[in-house]
Amino acid sequence: MAGEELIPGETRDLSLPSGQEENIQVFVRLRPLNDKEIARNDVSDWECINNNTIIFKNTLPERSMFPAAYSFDRVFGYDSPTKKLYEEGVKEVSLSVVSGINSSIFAYGQTSSGKTYTMRGITEYAVSDIYNYVEKHKEREFVLKFSAMEIYNESVRDLLISDTNPLRLLDDPERGTVVERLTEETLRDKSHMEELLAICEAQRQIGETSLNETSSRSHQILRLTIESSAREYIGADKSTTLTATVNFVDLAGSERASQAVSAGVRLKEGSHINRSLLTLGKVVRKLSKGKNAHIPYRDSKLTRILQNSLGGNARTAIICTMSPARSQIEQSRNTLLFASCAKEVATNAQVNVVMSDKALVKQLQRELAKLESEMKSLGSTSGTYDSTTLLKEKELIIEQMEKEIRELTRQRDLAELRMENLLQSRLDEYSALDSPDAPNSLHAGLDTCNKTPKFQNSENPEGDFVLDDSAPNFVGLDPCQGWERLLKKLMKNLRVLARKLGAMKQENQAINEKTEGNVFSPGPRVKNGRLSETEATDGNAVSSPCEGVGDIETEESSIKWEEEANALIPGPGEKEGNLSMTEATDEDALSSIEVEESSIKRETENDVSLQGS
Ligand SMILES: Nc1ncnc2c1ncn2[C@@H]1O[C@H](COP(=O)(O)OP(=O)(O)OP(=O)(O)O)[C@@H](O)[C@H]1O
């Protein structure tokens, strides 16, 4: 068989693109000028210049607004036989059906452009190749079923029986749109299929128009379903069946009523044909822009029945047939416009595997187990990740707070020192009042107290004075009062900070304990319950913080900080020197937090060492 190499082997079949997007393949076929066209001296305006491009040869100025060249998967000139179009074009898509992949071959084009002529040949070659494949694959059991319908004046008709009653369309949740009571013949052999094809041809609505003596007045859909199972496993637990359908769709031709000189029945047919082709064009146009928009499949029976072939679970090829005649230029351009949109449409073909009940149960059990284990591992991974990240963030804050406490402690010590010095100098001045040059000494002492600061931050007047040897500008206050207030504030900040630190360390311990349950091996990067500076900035250092020693030390260091902070601060109502200290209220705590934040910010901005002051 010529197509043998193109039909994938049994093993490869199952690994064919499952759920993979693929654009509709579009082919253009140009027929030769027909007798009528030649008789009226029509000229051929189109030419296939290579395998992919068709050009409009006429260079009349009024035609320049249209593109002169169009490219597709393949183009076939007037001298290309149908066999070539089949072999080099649609064969691969049509034979996907033997591998369990749905496929559809459409012929689209204006009336008399060669659709029926083309589809007849394509169907014949494909059926022949399918039977050859079946013959060569004795290890599988094949069941072929055939059905055929036409959509005539928007009614669906069974082409395998003489009953002309219209068939209803039903929506099946699994199979999509289903034609109710459509005959499905199980094929005995190839000749049986050929007989049925002949019946369809005889049943199809044909009418004579001025453009085509035997114009197809309906859309015809020939449907071949192929099921296959490996003989070895038939009846066994492992038994699975591949099942897919190939549609051969010969659309009715678009026509202009004036050109087709239509009247009466033909006019009515023409309007139905044009309307459903219009919907097909709309569906294809919308699909070509993406599947997010509403796709009006339900606006015609044709698009409803072929929904899967248009953007669904199928591989699709469209053959656009064209007359080369200048008189048909408008229709030919419309065909090429449709073809250009169609090539942008993607479908999503899958291998359709039907399992035996036993195999299905086993498969479902396997999938369930897999999902359960995935969920478990996902749960533990995300839990570990979240708590580790949280822990890392909190550790950084703790480090920052510890730094801030050290900073505040130094500021407090310095402020105390400066105040002691100030008080001492005042005592000295008072004791010097007895001396003969008392007034001068007093002035000198007061000058020292009120010395203008060398550095003053207007937004934060007390902010940086401790960093130099100047006196701060305590606006409206006696310097001693100013120092007293400042010391109070520093101590309050220290106390709030120490409390927050303790709370944060407790939270971290709780996270550690929670994480411990999820992590099997403690990460080596965590020391003493805290990430080291380099580790903390290492984005990859997400490891387990669960080390017993670290937990204890965290707790201990937290208690230590709290004790230290409390030692710095006199209790409620206690007096320390002349500073009256009270417990910080919630409001105080809030303002302290603000102070803390601005302090941290300040520290980042000015990395100033107190050692030098
Ligand atoms: N590639 C071709 N080579 C030779 N003859 C062709 C070719 N294509 C079509 N023809 C002839 O042109 C005529 C019209 O073709 P056909 O009936 O297939 O057109 P159609 O597109 O199906 O028209 P309609 O939409 O009206 O049914 C037929 O006589 C057919 O034999």
User: Which ligand 1 atom is nearest residue 253's CA?
Assistant: 25
In a domain, 88, yes or no: yes
Q: Is 411 helix (H, G, I), strand (E, B) or coil?
A: helix
pLDDT bracket for residue 275 (50, 70, 90): confident
In a domain, 360, yes or no: no
What average pLDDT does range 598-609 have in this prediction? 38
User: Which ligand 1 atom is nearest residue 80's CA?
Assistant: 1
**Residue with CA nearest ligand 1 atom 2:** 31
Out of 35, 37, 46, 112, give the residue to mutate to test ligand 1, the one with the largest number of ligand atoms within 8 Å of its CB.
112
* Residue 24 near residue 353 (C-beta atoms within 8 A): no
- The three-point CA angle 457-463-464 to 5° equals 80
Q: Has residue 151 got a pLDDT over 50?
A: yes
User: Which ligand 1 atom is nearest residue 113's CA?
Assistant: 21
* Separation of CA 97 and ligand 1 centre (Å): 27
pLDDT for res 181:
93
* Separation of CA 324 and ligand 1 centre (Å): 12
Beta strands 315-322 and 25-30 are parallel
* Separation of CA 214 and ligand 1 centre (Å): 9
Highest mean pLDDT among 428-432, 567-571, 584-588: 428-432
Q: Has residue 498 got a pLDDT over 70?
A: yes
Continuous H helices in 184-252 = 190-203
| Distance, CA of 250 to CA of 205 (rounded, Å) | 12
Q: What is the CATH number of the domain that holds 168?
A: 3.40.850.10
**190 is written with which tokens?**
């190839």
Report DSSP letters for 448-512, one per residue: HHTPPPSS--TTSTTSSGGGSSSPP--TTS-HHHHHHHHHHHHHHHHHHHHHHHHHHHHHHHHHH
pLDDT for res 254:
75
User: Which ligand 1 atom is nearest residue 34's CA?
Assistant: 12
| Distance, CA of 350 to CA of 355 (rounded, Å) | 15
Q: Has residue 567 got a pLDDT over 50?
A: no
In a domain, 6, yes or no: no
Strand partners, 207: 215
pLDDT for res 255:
64
Q: Has residue 265 got a pLDDT over 50?
A: yes
pLDDT bracket for residue 580 (50, 70, 90): very low
Same-domain status, 547 and 510: yes
pLDDT for res 560:
45
* Residue 127 near residue 192 (C-beta atoms within 8 A): no
pLDDT bracket for residue 128 (50, 70, 90): very high
**Residue with CA nearest ligand 1 atom 15:** 114
Q: How many domains does the chain have?
A: 2
Q: Has residue 503 got a pLDDT over 80?
A: yes
pLDDT bracket for residue 50 (50, 70, 90): very high
Cα–Cα distances in angstroms (integers) from residue 365 to residues 96, 100, 233, 361, in the given order: 30, 24, 20, 6
List % helix, strand, coil for the chain (3-state, nearest 5).
50, 20, 30
The per-residue b/e assignment along 384-418, b for 16 or more CB within 10 angstroms, e otherwise, is: beebbebbbebbeebeebbebbebbbbbbebbbeb
User: Which ligand 1 atom is nearest residue 216's CA?
Assistant: 27
* Residue 541 near residue 533 (C-beta atoms within 8 A): no
Same-domain status, 327 and 387: no
| Distance, CA of 492 to CA of 502 (rounded, Å) | 15
Q: Has residue 229 got a pLDDT over 60?
A: yes
Q: Has residue 341 got a pLDDT over 50?
A: yes
Q: Where is 363: in which H helix or E strand?
A: helix 357-432
Out of 48, 108, 212, 255, give the residue to mutate to test ligand 1, the one with the largest number of ligand atoms within 8 Å of its CB.
212
pLDDT for res 19:
60
pLDDT bracket for residue 37 (50, 70, 90): very high
* Separation of CA 312 and ligand 1 centre (Å): 30
Q: What is the pLDDT of residues 413-437, one digit of tens each?
A: 777 777 777 777 777 776 766 555 5
In a domain, 81, yes or no: yes
CA proximity to 429, closest of 447, 443, 448, 442: 442
Q: Has residue 351 got a pLDDT over 60?
A: yes
Which residues lie below 8 Å from residue 61, measured CB to CB, with a gap of 6+? Answer: none
* Separation of CA 208 and ligand 1 centre (Å): 13
pLDDT bracket for residue 476 (50, 70, 90): low
* Domain of 158, in residue numbers: 18-355
pLDDT for res 195:
96
CA proximity to 450, closest of 430, 479, 422: 479
* Separation of CA 113 and ligand 1 centre (Å): 5
In a domain, 172, yes or no: yes
| Distance, CA of 461 to CA of 187 (rounded, Å) | 98
Beta strands 140-152 and 219-230 are antiparallel
Q: Which amino acid is at 386?
A: D
Same-domain status, 276 and 180: yes
**481 is written with which tokens?**
């009062």
Same-domain status, 339 and 402: no
pLDDT for res 415:
75
pLDDT for res 251:
93
pLDDT for res 391:
79
Of 325, 355, 385, which residue constitutes the final position of a domain? 355
Same-domain status, 380 and 329: no
pLDDT for res 583:
35
pLDDT for res 542:
29
* Separation of CA 203 and ligand 1 centre (Å): 19
Same-domain status, 459 and 392: yes
Q: What is the pLDDT of residues 65-120, one digit of tens each?
A: 777 899 999 999 999 999 999 999 999 999 999 999 999 999 999 989 999 999 99
Average pLDDT of the chain is: 73
Same-domain status, 65 and 196: yes
Same-domain status, 350 and 399: no
* Separation of CA 37 and ligand 1 centre (Å): 13
Of 91-100, 257-266, 361-370, give the lowest mean pLDDT range.
Answer: 257-266
pLDDT for res 474:
64
User: Which ligand 1 atom is nearest residue 119's CA?
Assistant: 18
Highest mean pLDDT among 196-210, 297-311, 486-500: 297-311
Cα–Cα distances in angstroms (integers) from residue 499 to residues 27, 583, 589, in the given order: 77, 13, 10
Strand partners, 248: 105, 222
Q: Has residue 15 got a pLDDT over 50?
A: no
The CA-based dihedral angle spanning residues 541, 543, 548, 554, taken in that order and rounded to the nearest 10 degrees: 40
pLDDT for res 497:
80
Cα–Cα distances in angstroms (integers) from residue 17 to residues 31, 96, 140, 492, in the given order: 34, 11, 21, 69
Highest mean pLDDT among 224-238, 322-336, 559-573: 322-336
In a domain, 253, yes or no: yes
Same-domain status, 396 and 347: no
Same-domain status, 379 and 351: no
Q: Where is 270: in which H helix or E strand?
A: helix 264-288
Here the ipTM equals: 0.98
Q: Which residues line ligand 1 (CB under 6 A)?
A: 31-32, 34, 109, 111-117, 212, 214-216, 252-253, 321
573 compared with 493, residue with greater pLDDT: 493
Q: What is the pLDDT of residues 161-204, one digit of tens each?
A: 998 899 999 998 878 899 999 999 999 999 999 999 999 999 88
Q: Has residue 152 got a pLDDT over 70?
A: yes
In a domain, 5, yes or no: no
| Distance, CA of 423 to CA of 578 (rounded, Å) | 11
What average pLDDT does range 572-600 have in this prediction? 38
Highest mean pLDDT among 124-138, 383-397, 442-456: 124-138
Of 326, 355, 384, which residue constitutes the final position of a domain? 355
What average pLDDT does range 300-316 have in this prediction? 91
* Separation of CA 278 and ligand 1 centre (Å): 22
Of 287, 321, 355, which residue constitutes the final position of a domain? 355
What average pLDDT does range 458-483 have in this prediction? 54
* Separation of CA 128 and ligand 1 centre (Å): 22
In a domain, 13, yes or no: no
Out of 86, 116, 331, give the residue to mutate to test ligand 1, the one with the largest number of ligand atoms within 8 Å of its CB.
116
pLDDT bracket for residue 610 (50, 70, 90): very low
Same-domain status, 419 and 314: no
Same-domain status, 400 and 311: no
Q: Has residue 522 got a pLDDT over 70?
A: no
